[in-house]
Amino acid sequence: MVSRLASHMAQSIEQALADFSPGLPFAVAFSGGADSTALLLACARRWPGQVSAVHIHHGLQEAADAFEVHCRALCHQLNVPLAVRRVQAGHAPGQSPEDAARKARYAALAEAAKGEWPEVRDIALAQHADDQVETLLIALSRGAGLPGLACMPAQWQRLGLNWHRPFLSVPGEALREWLQSQGHSWIEDPSNTDESFTRNRIRARVLPALAEALPAFRETFARSAAHAAQAQEVLNEVAQQDLEHIGVPPRIEALQGLGRARQSLVLRHWLRLHHATTPSTAQLSALLDQLSACTTRGHRIHLKVGTGFVQRQGLHLGWQSA
């Protein structure tokens, strides 16, 4: 007989899938861990014959081969087509290994989906409510602005595909309880218990304390992240309007006609939209100082910003890759 707890877990997963409307057919990013196993199993049952899986073999640990074997076996059992891609991402100077691995993983997922199943335009990822809380806490610890506090979106477009996170409202423990009730196993990544990683320390130490002190923290934190995301949408609209006014590349005189906060907003927007880079707070502050001081024809601007350099080019600000 299904326990009341297992029934509640099943309902939370069913509700999450009821709110999930991917284009069919679609692919699931499948690592073999509990979260992606629950996602693949639930999706394969809800949309039989419409789901494929992509497994990224990172080759970063000895267990990676076992992960692949496990994924192949489960996909065979579920009659789900599986594509495997091997990725060993090196990171550029100033880029974190985690960021490099994440970008390489997305690129490999997109390549596999497009290459194996040309009709697939949607990919589902298994991040859940606990992952969202961890992301918010990490953003707070780094002094992030609204983009960081908005955390992970439930859906977005990237690399010509639609990406989805249908489980952002479901606690990680619910996924594990549900899998156990279904009689399915999963692989535990040994690196998930390595507390040298900030995210793992938060998972092991902070989340249990929050659950005791603030039982509804997942829901309330999610609301705060949603408020931040909504506010950021408004700021993005303002930044786009300002960018249309100052032009691309930005005209220095037009920039100087804006207040410092608006200058910061539109410069971040320009750099992200046209050069795929994000300046640090210190870098942007230095650029704004130079912009304020740029009152003579001979004033030179050449500053490291994000992954390259912002420099003065006559009446405009230009960009040069590092």
- The label of the residue with tokens 């998930």 reads 192
- Indicate where the chain has its CATH 3.40.50.620 domain(s): 4-220
The residue behind tokens 């594509």 is 83
Do 296 and 261 form a contact (C-beta atoms < 8 A)? no
Rounded Cα distance, 187 and 176, in Å: 11
52-61, 151-160, 297-306: least confident range:
52-61
Burial of 36 (0-12, 13-18, 19+ CB in 10 A): buried
Report the distance separating Cα 180 and Cα 156, nearest Å.
Answer: 31
The answer to whether residues 30 and 75 touch, using CB atoms and an 8 Å cutoff, is yes
**CA angle (308, 314, 318) in 5-degree steps:** 20
Say if CB 218 and CB 130 are below 8 A apart. Answer: yes
Q: What is the mean pLDDT of the chain?
A: 91
Could you read off the pLDDT of 266-319 as tens digits, one per residue?
999 999 999 989 899 999 999 999 999 999 999 999 999 988 999 999 999 999
Superfamily name with CATH number, domain 4-220: HUPs (3.40.50.620)
CB distance 152 to 132 below 8 Å: yes
Query: 197 and 189 in contact (C-beta within 8 Å)?
Result: no
Q: Could you tell me the pLDDT band of residue 2, with boundaries at 50, 70 and 90?
A: very low
